Chain A
Amino acid sequence: MGSIFGFLGPNGAGKSTTIRLLLDFLRPQSGAASVLGLDPWRDGPAVRQRIGYLPGEVHLPENLTGMEFLRYAARLRGVALPEERLRAMVEALDANPVPRLKTLSKGNKQKIAIIHALLLTRELVILDEPTEGLDPLVQQAFHRLLAQYRDEGGTIFMSSHVLSEVERLCDHVAIIRDGRIVEVARTESLKANKARRVSLVLDAGVDRETVSSALPDVRIVAWEGTSSILEITGDIRPLLGLLARLPVRDVAIEPASLEDSFLEYYA
């Protein structure tokens, strides 16, 4: 089983530059990189033979049809076009590879570019802001294709600033700030370290002290009459145990989000 690795950062943080370095489009002044155990600058062609790539801005050769473009990409790699896999992807994304690319809308060109990235390699695919220009339905189909690629053992390295998408898809996340990686973690553990917000409505008569003394790790953000807002980090079971004993009229627990972690680095 592979992995989906999210590469997060706001505009200008260095996401696309990092990707260009890994693909040998840019040459570093210092430092080193390793892709699939190889040096992307010394062994560029060998590395890229095993990588699929979707650029941030998709500009396809307009005079070709989608099929001609994909066949050309296969010839460039010296491999046969995997017809069955192609058919499945075309169907999944509802793409049309028959007309000339110049006649397609931005979203439909993006679909062909996605197929190009995922079709010819099984090991690693690098996606730079992959869902720009896709409608929500196609985004869902695209997410299913990514999950399938991962389940077949492939790794997806995906830059994005759409946090909800990364949160939903990625197993691991790196956050880049001013060209430096400031955090690398499993998505779940990044979220687990963040506080969850609990909105609580109790019967009259329960005071603030009852809660704070039973749960010293819980921060009481607000307490007004019967309504209160709490913040809890880590294990939620002690809170649930207490709530089971209290006269609770309503409770809402907001899950911790990746956005909280992300904003922490950029606040």
Chain B
Amino acid sequence: MTAAVFLRALKDRWPTMLALAVGLALFLGMMAWWYPEYRAQAEISMKLLPSFIKKMMGARVSMARPEGYVSWILIHPLCLAMLATWAIGVPSAAIAGAIERGTLAFTLSGPITRARFILAQVGLLVLGQAVTVAACVGAVAAMFAWHAVVLPGGLAGWLLASLQALLLMLGIGGVTLLLSAAASESANAFRPAIALMMMALFVSLFGDVFRALEPLKPLSPFSWFRPYEPLAGKETAWTAWACLAGLPLVTMLGAWQVFARRNLSI
């Protein structure tokens, strides 16, 4: 039953997944293609930037370094928008959207538990996000290999950086799934999800610029997103991994509980 719902949802969504994967691979491949040129001019470009942007961009690791550049392009607004299209779009359509369209009644009138229904949606979210993240990181890694840019972390570094990106996006997806489990219209899931994501990103980026925002940084999953560490061959703190992994876990379990207990006027 879970497989039937999962496969049905996958059949509906695979063109979107494929389009996002191709788009991300092209965009990040292109960004990675420019890296050698950027590195040559990095010193001059950083001098030209206003001080607050310098702080924001170079707070943790220099963008001139390959691991810093990869970390930056992974949260480039266009990349983030494409990754979040899946992380926010799929869960908001899965429950709240299905209620809004009126199609949930047919699925849930079958012998499927709400837990299994949620599991199928989580499966789709994870699969699509894994594919899109793999497309991102794979394209960058391939382009760096082409330019013979070697990262100290090696293959393990790329894999751990990918895992961090995957967990970050699953966290956003989990929050959206939780909102979707409680809502009856997709807009009531994706709008607050987008707002929360933007706030979290804002806090993470500007926490290094404005002191007032600094105490809020631990609340933002973007603050725990440190792909430059494994790429540089350094270890990421277990607290960062726990926060990145904890958010999707907690929100998905929350979504299951909320959806299992709620009344559905369908």
Contacts and interface: CB of A to CB of B under 8 A. Distances in A.
Main secondary structure of the interface of B (DSSP, over half): loop
Contact of A59 (B102, B110, B112): B102
Interface string B97-109: 0000111011111
Which of B4, B106, B264 has the largest number of chain A CB atoms within 10 A? B106
B37 interface: no
B263 interface: yes
A25 interface: yes
A26 B111 contact: no
A48 B265 contact: no
Interface in B108-142: 108-113
A49 B1 CA distance: 11
Contacts of A77: 110-111
Nearest to A45: B111
Interface residues of B, number: 22
A72 B4 contact: yes
Contact of A46 (B103, B108, B111): B111
B266 A76 contact: no
Interface in A23-75: 23-27, 44-46, 48-49, 51, 53, 55, 57-63, 72-73, 75
B84 to A, nearest CB: 23
A20 B264 contact: yes
A78 interface: yes
A76 B103 contact: no
A45 B105 contact: no
- For chain A, give the interface size range: 20 to 34
A76 B9 CA distance: 13
Interface string B1-32: 10011001000100000000000000000000
B266 A27 contact: no
A27 B263 contact: yes
A20 B110 contact: no
Contacts of B264: 20, 25-26
Contact of A26 (B5, B102, B103, B263): B263
Nearest to A24: B108
B191 interface: no
B261 interface: yes
Nearest to A17: B265
Contacts of B110: 48-49, 73, 76-77
Contacts of B12: 63
Given A20-B266, A25-B265, A73 B111 contact: no
Contact of A60 (B106, B265, B266): B106
B74 to A, nearest CB: 32
Contacts of A172: none
Given A24-B108, A45-B113, A49-B111, 17 more contacts: A23-B109, A25-B265, A26-B263, A48-B110, A48-B112, A55-B102, A55-B105, A55-B106, A57-B102, A59-B101, A60-B103, A62-B101, A73-B106, A76-B5, A76-B111, A77-B111, A116-B106
Q: Which 9 A-B pairs have the closest CB atoms?
A: A59-B102, A49-B111, A53-B109, A45-B111, A76-B110, A75-B4, A25-B264, A26-B263, A55-B105
5 contacts: A48-B110, A73-B110, A75-B4, A76-B1, A116-B106
